[in-house]
């Protein structure tokens, strides 16, 4: 009888901490460990028990500081070398499962294409939808797949035509009187039905009030991941994975998040973070109409009246072309009034850092940054703002940034195109004088 060659078991190693690399992120490794192999010491660093470690690598993958590695004994390393020489005969079970999942029809390989949700209110599309089609086009080209928009609403066929002009190859349209007003239950059902039917690998939505509500509900229903408020989206072309980057840990690091084993990969992006693509008038594509199958009696919420709440004087700073933004360096409300005069003079709008909002010098709806608005102005003048990362993520994509700060080491100068090291109380009045004399407009 033929003797089967003995299959060598591939060593999987044990997790261990790399000296001096832990960033004390808050025990994410411990939370991820399925075998209770990790305890935290007084410095919030992990102590990993080799006996309890089951080599699952979850802690290695989750660590934002790349501070944990898999360790192999010299004997195990020798086996690995032998296996490599034989062409890598043994494959760990986990990798094998993943490979199978990716290649079966019910697995992630069946999901194809990049989709953008077209958010609309009373038949008018939110600008973020077109901005996302611009980014979606780049992602679709990188993956070699189609770019599609999906539109839900009542009498919104014209938005399909618009989506083609903004670059969509296909539009999936669900048009029904029951979708006239946004209600989570009805939009959730519509989105989930259409996504499950056509299986896009990537779904992008605007991180607006509506988008935040809908994206979270859809991702939960589809049992997939969602990265909210992304500031950058790219493709790992080798693995065909969406790299979803956003600020994490209070903005102190930028985290790139992957949805490796579930589909679709879902991400939301705030308005004005991505530039709009070129509008191609008259562009055409394929329109696919889908029925909406819910009945009114199955939707628990009813819209009785829509009340517009924007108060007098409220401005959407996210759409402003020129922003004069003040920080704690302005020192008082009176000094802030100087910024208002300057802004008015140059056709701009006043905004502020969180400190300025906390001081009560500017309203919260004008706060720029991670917990405020993301702006993409043509001109951003930062006055007495230090440039904390939480502020920078909200304004660094502005076309031209001028920073005025008396501290030449302030981080705001790292993103500024023009830096003025000086006292803002002197610089702004002298700029006001200069503009009075020349009567020039700063964006001309």
Q: Under the rule (CB under 6 A), what is the footprint of ligand FAD?
A: 250-251, 327-329, 353-356, 367-372, 384-386, 388, 390-391, 394, 404-407, 410, 423-425
Between 319 and 422, CB nearer to ligand FAD: 422
What does the block give as tokens for 348?
């701009």
Q: How far is Cα 110 from Cα 72, in angstroms, rounded to an integer?
A: 36
CB of 420 to ligand FAD, least distance (A): 9
For strands 241-248 and 253-257, give the pairing: antiparallel
Q: Which residues pair with 170 in a beta bridge?
A: 148, 286
| CB contact set of 378 (below 8 Å; sequence gap of 6+) | 321, 322, 398, 399, 400, 443
CB of 385 to ligand FAD, least distance (A): 4
Between 136 and 247, CB nearer to ligand FAD: 247
Task: Give phi and psi for 77, each to the nearest 5.
Answer: -60, -35
Between 200 and 394, CB nearer to ligand FAD: 394
Q: How far is Cα 241 from Cα 243, in angstroms, rounded to an integer?
A: 6
CB of 219 to ligand FAD, least distance (A): 23
What does the block give as tokens for 384?
């007495």
Max intra-chain CA distance, the chain: 102
Between 120 and 405, CB nearer to ligand FAD: 405
Between 79 and 425, CB nearer to ligand FAD: 425
Task: Give which of 226, 245, 228, 225 is closest to 236, Cα–Cα.
Answer: 245
Three-state DSSP at 330 gives: helix
CB of 159 to ligand FAD, least distance (A): 32
Between 151 and 424, CB nearer to ligand FAD: 424
Between 194 and 228, CB nearer to ligand FAD: 228
Q: How far is Cα 327 from Cα 11, in angstroms, rounded to an integer?
A: 56
CB of 256 to ligand FAD, least distance (A): 19
CB of 426 to ligand FAD, least distance (A): 8
Task: Give which of 392, 393, 398, 351 is closest to 378, Cα–Cα.
Answer: 398
CB of 275 to ligand FAD, least distance (A): 21
Q: Which residues pair with 350 in a beta bridge?
A: 324
Between 168 and 388, CB nearer to ligand FAD: 388
CB of 406 to ligand FAD, least distance (A): 4
Three-state DSSP at 194 gives: helix
- In contact, 127 and 134? CB cutoff 8 Å: no
């Amino acid at each position: 009888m033929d003797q089967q060659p003995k299959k060598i078991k591939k060593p999987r190693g044990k997790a261990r901490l790399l000296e001096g690399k832990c960033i004390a992120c808050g025990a994410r490794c411990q939370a991820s460990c399925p075998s209770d192999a990790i305890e935290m010491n007084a410095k919030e660093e992990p102590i990993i028990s080799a006996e309890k470690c089951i080599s699952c690598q979850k802690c290695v993958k989750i660590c934002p500081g790349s501070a944990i590695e898999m360790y192999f004994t010299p004997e195990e390393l020798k086996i690995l070398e032998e296996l490599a020489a034989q062409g890598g005969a043994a494959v760990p079970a986990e990798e094998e499962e993943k490979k199978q999942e990716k290649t079966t029809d019910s697995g992630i390989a069946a999901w194809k294409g990049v989709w953008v949700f077209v958010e609309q209110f009373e038949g008018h599309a939110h600008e973020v939808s077109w901005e996302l089609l611009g980014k979606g086009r780049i992602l679709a080209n990188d993956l070699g797949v189609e770019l599609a928009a999906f539109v839900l609403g009542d009498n919104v066929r014209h938005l399909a035509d618009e989506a083609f002009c903004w670059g969509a190859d296909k539009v999936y349209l669900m048009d029904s009187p029951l979708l006239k007003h946004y209600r989570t239950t009805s939009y959730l059902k519509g989105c989930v039905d259409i996504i499950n039917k056509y299986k896009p690998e990537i779904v992008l939505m605007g991180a607006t009030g509506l988008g935040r509500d809908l994206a979270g509900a859809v991702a939960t229903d589809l049992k997939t991941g969602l990265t909210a408020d992304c500031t950058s989206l790219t493709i790992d072309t080798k693995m065909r994975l969406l790299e979803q980057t956003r600020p994490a840990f209070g903005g102190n690091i930028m985290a790139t998040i992957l949805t490796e084993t579930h589909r679709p990969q879902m991400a939301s992006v705030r308005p004005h973070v991505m530039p709009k693509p070129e509008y191609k008038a008259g562009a055409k594509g394929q329109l696919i109409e889908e029925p909406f199958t819910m009945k009114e009696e199955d939707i628990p919420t009813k819209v009785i009246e829509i009340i517009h709440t924007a108060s007098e004087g409220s401005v959407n700073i996210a759409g402003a072309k020129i922003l004069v933004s003040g920080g704690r360096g302005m020192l008082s409300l009176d000094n802030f009034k100087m910024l208002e005069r300057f802004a008015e003079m140059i056709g701009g709008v006043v905004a502020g850092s969180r400190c300025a909002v906390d001081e009560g010098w500017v309203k919260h709806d004008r706060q720029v940054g991670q917990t405020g608005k993301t702006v993409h102005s043509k001109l951003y003048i930062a006055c007495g703002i230090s440039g904390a990362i939480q502020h920078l993520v909200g304004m660094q994509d502005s076309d031209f940034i001028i920073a005025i700060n008396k501290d030449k080491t302030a981080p705001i100068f790292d993103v500024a195109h023009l830096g003025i090291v000086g006292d803002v109380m002197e610089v702004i009045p002298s700029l006001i004088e200069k503009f009075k004399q020349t009567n020039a407009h700063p964006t001309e």
